[in-house]
Amino acid sequence: MTQVPVVVIGAGHAGLAVSHVLTGRGVEHVVLERGEVANTWRTERWDSLRLLTPNWLTRLPGLAYEGDDPDGFMTVEELIGFIERYAELGDAPVRTQTEVTSVAPGDSGYVVTTRDGSWEAQAVVLATGAFNRPKVPAVAASLPDELEQVTTLDYKRPDGLRPGRVLVVGASATGLQIADELLRSGREVTVAVGEHVRMPRACTGRDIMWWLDRIGRLDERYDQVDDLVRARHVPSPQLVGTPDREDLDLNALTARGAELVGRLAAVRDGHALFSGSLRNVCNLADLKLVRLLDTIDARTAEDGLGDDAIARPEPTRVPASPRLDVDLVAGGYETVLWATGFRSDYAWLDVPVLDRKGELRHDGGIVRDAPGLYRIGLNFLRRRKSSFIHGAEDDATDLVEDLVAHLGSSIRTFPINFV
Amino acid sequence: MSTTEPVADNGVNVEHLLGARTALTDAPEAAEFTWRATTEWVRGTRTQTTIEDYSGLGEKHSHKAEYSYTGDHPEVFASEDDGPTPVEFVLVGLSTCLTAGLAAVAQNRNIQLKSVKASIEGDMNILGILGGDPEVRNGFNDIRVHFDIDADASPEEIEALVAQSQKRSAVFDVVTNPSNVSVTVN
């Protein structure tokens, strides 16, 4: 067993950011990676994906975007290059192809077991991603066998799907982006729409991410929001990062021929039953969008950035009587695409710190029930920006601060008792 | 910053509700409630329903009083019209749920309500229940709720109250989503 003060699990952008900050503090550590650097981006994303954040905002501690298109959006390939370069620049102590099979309490902290030996560490940082498993609702089991079910971890491009109609379940960034490219490839697409967040790509010539940064929205802290459960479960905004900076919302999909239906509520005898709440979820998203634009308008006036109020977007066009009941097989559907979100996988975590829903109990990334255990890279971990690439910087700095204090104290304390 | 913002009082104990949410997150089994009612046939299409107790927070509770409702069909169905029709009870369930929820949301957002009136209509083609057309469903094919609200708030804030009350409404959920129903007999 190899001794090391800190083990970081995962060499994606968040794990490497932690590694960078640890190195800056002179803390010896190792980064264990199951595959290659930026593994999830290499293997589990669809071909056309680009970041939702513009390049100028895509930065990590010690590395900012240096290309000639600060307002562009990185493709996955470009992002992999960026993260690889980050690992090389910082000379991060990464062990690739080293899959962790267990993290368990040990005599002086934790024992991290891999397929290639084990490590003993006083502190462990979990940077294993928030998108390990597709979150597929239980109703999936009732779908007719004739239909192919595809999750967004498996989806690559339109021609990878069977011919025929596609039911896309989910109307956040992922669902809309995939529905959009399916429509453009000539598919007939029905989109099941639950609660969602509508956002324009730009306002008065500036990217919406610039505005969210400007009005302080991205820096809102987890210990300052009214309802943290809600904040951590807000769906990703309906955005796409394309070279022509187009808006992507339900109206755009409707204009391309998509059919909108309510949230998929049940499947009975091969029929998909959709909720009658489509009008309200669209109305909620429109109201929230107008409140955001009001805030931006107020800020524009305050900062003297211009007199022009932002044009209010057309309300979401909801069909008068959206279909509630669709006979999937008879209706020509061949594929159901689950764009219903993701969850983390903690199958390898042998420390009793999960709640009844299998999520990690933590306080802004600090696992209070297991001193020395940390988590980075979750939605609204410590700030609203935590789920963005650049959100890793402040989170890594905060967590390493706590971690260094823990290392200082753990030398003098007895082993942790997990009974 | 001023700290003397007026405090709305709509008679809803929001602190209690928020406290319950926190407590129930830690004790999820206590959050399981069962609601019940008993309906007895009287004569013709007339029924008498009583509502007395419900279960939740790990025990059985009694209402302050036993509530009793008469149901019937209208005279155009050749009935006595001694009470509302069952579908009207469904509409009442929806409008009372949305209105109660709206008051709670307004309280939570510190919005003083002055008056709230919900008018509700449901369209139904009775060929469905008469078996006259197999293509026609039995139930409502469209339900409309209209709110008239006077409150110390902007039109946008009031619209947001109405939207949020739908989002958090049990009966809105029951009406807009399928539920499994099992009916047994002795």
Give me the CATH number covering residue A374.
Answer: 3.50.50.60
CA angle A259, A260, A265 (to 5 degrees): 125
Same domain, A106 and A151: no
Give the sheet arrangement for strand A6-9, strand by strand.
A94-95, A29-32, A6-9, A123-126, A373-375
Question: B117 is in which domain, residue-wise?
Answer: 85-176
Which residues have CB under 8 Å from A310's CB, separation 6+?
A: A203, A204, A293, A296, A297, A300
Residue A283 and residue A216 in one domain:
yes
B78 and B113 housed in the same domain: no
* Chain B hits for A264, Cβ within 8 Å: none
**Domain shared by A144 and A102, yes or no:** no
Does residue B2 carry a pLDDT above 70? no
Residues B60 and B107 in one domain: no
In this complex, is the C-beta atom of A321 within 8 Å of any C-beta atom belonging to chain B?
A: yes
Using the predicted structure, report yes or no on whether residue A412 has a pLDDT greater than 90: no
Within a domain: residue A150?
yes
In a shared domain, residues A109 and A258: no
pLDDT digits (tens, 9 = 90+) for A210-251: 999 999 999 999 999 989 999 999 999 999 999 999 999 999
**Closest C-alpha among A31, A390, A369, A368 to residue A377:** A390
Residue A417: inside a domain, yes or no? no
Are residues B80 and B141 part of one domain?
no
**For all residues of chain A together, what is the average pLDDT?**
94
∠ CA B171-B177-B183, nearest 5°, is 80
- Distance, in Å, from the CA atom of B64 to the CA atom of A368, rounded to the nearest integer, reads 44
A167 and A231 in a single domain? The answer is yes
Q: CATH number, domain at B58?
A: 3.30.300.20
Average pLDDT over residues B8-23: 84
Tell me the mean pLDDT in the region B29-36.
94
- Any domain includes B1: no
Decide which of B35, B53, B84 is a domain's last residue.
B84
Residue A97 and residue A321: Cα distance in Å, rounded? 53
- Of the candidates B177, B159, B163, B171, the residue with the CA atom closest to the CA atom of residue B91: B171
> Do A66 and A168 share a structural domain?
no
Return the percent helix, strand and coil in chain A, to nearest 5. Answer: 30, 25, 50
Residue A287, chain B, CB below 8 Å: the answer is yes
Mutation target among B123, B177, B179 for the A interface, most CBs of A within 10 A: B177
Per-residue model confidence as pLDDT tens digits over A36-79: 999 999 988 899 999 999 999 999 999 999 899 999 999 999 99
Lowest-confidence pick of A186-195, A275-284, A378-387, B11-20 = B11-20
Same-domain check for residues B79 and B130: no
Q: Is the domain of A250 the same as that of A304?
A: yes
Nearest residue in B to A268, CA atom: B178
Domain contains B54: yes
* Boundary (domain end) residue, out of A338, A364, A398: A338
Could you read off the pLDDT of B89-118 as tens digits, one per residue? 999 999 999 999 999 999 999 999 999 999
Q: Compute the distance between CA of residue A259 and CA of residue A333 in angstroms, rounded to an integer.
A: 13
> Does the pLDDT value for residue B1 go beyond 50?
no
Distance CA A315, CA B107 (A): 28
- Chain A positions touching B173 (Cβ under 8 A) are 277
Supply the pLDDT for residue A362.
Answer: 97
Domain end among A296, A318, A338 = A338
Instruction: Give chain A's domain count.
Output: 2
Q: What is the pLDDT of residue A204?
A: 84
Range with lowest mean pLDDT among A64-68, A164-168, A193-197: A64-68
A129-151 pLDDT per residue, tens: 998 899 999 999 999 999 999 99
The CA-CA-CA angle for residues A257, A263, A264, to 5°, reads 100
Residue A56 shares a structural domain with residue A204: no
Neighbours of A206 (CB within 10 A): 15
Q: Are residues A114 and A232 in the same domain?
A: no
* Boundary-marking domain end, from B84, B107, B122: B84
Question: Is residue A115 predicted with pLDDT exceeding 70?
Answer: yes
The answer on pLDDT for A357 being more than 50 is: yes
Residues A195 and A307 in one domain: yes
Examine residue B3 and state whether it is found in any structural domain, yes or no. no
pLDDT digits (tens, 9 = 90+) for A284-332: 999 999 999 999 999 888 888 776 788 889 999 999 999 999 999 999 9
Residues B63, B103 within the same domain: no
Q: Do B163 and A356 touch (CB under 8 A)?
A: no
Do residue A319 and residue A263 come from a single domain?
A: yes
The partner residue sitting opposite A280, judged by closest CB among B25, B142, B167, is B167
In angstroms, what CA-CA distances link A259 with A169, A228, A286, A319? 12, 34, 19, 9
Cα separation, A275 vs A324, in Å, equals 7
Judge if B139 and B68 occupy the same domain.
no
Global pTM reads: 0.90
Residue B106 and residue B65 in one domain:
no
CB atoms A276 and B160 under 8 Å? no
pLDDT given at position A307:
67
Parent domain of A397: 2-132+344-410
In tens, the pLDDT along B108-153 reads 999 999 999 999 999 999 999 998 888 899 999 999 999 999 999 9
- Which residues, in sequence order, are bridge partners of residue A119? A2, A112
User: Residues 26..65 of B with a Cβ closer than 8 Å to A: which?
Assistant: 28
Chosen domain end from B84, B117, B134:
B84
Total number of domains constituting chain B: 2
Q: Which of B25, B163, B176 sits opposite A287 (nearest CB)?
A: B163
Of B142, B156, B176, the CB nearest to A287: B156
- pLDDT bucket at A343, cuts 50 / 70 / 90: very high
Give the domain-ending residue among A276, A306, A338: A338
Asked if A374 and A332 sit in the same domain, the reply is: no
pLDDT at B5 > cutoff 90: no
Q: Which of A38-52, A93-107, A303-317, B6-20 has the highest mean pLDDT?
A: A93-107
Quick one: pLDDT at residue B20? 83
Asked if residue B168 and residue B92 are part of one domain, the reply reads yes
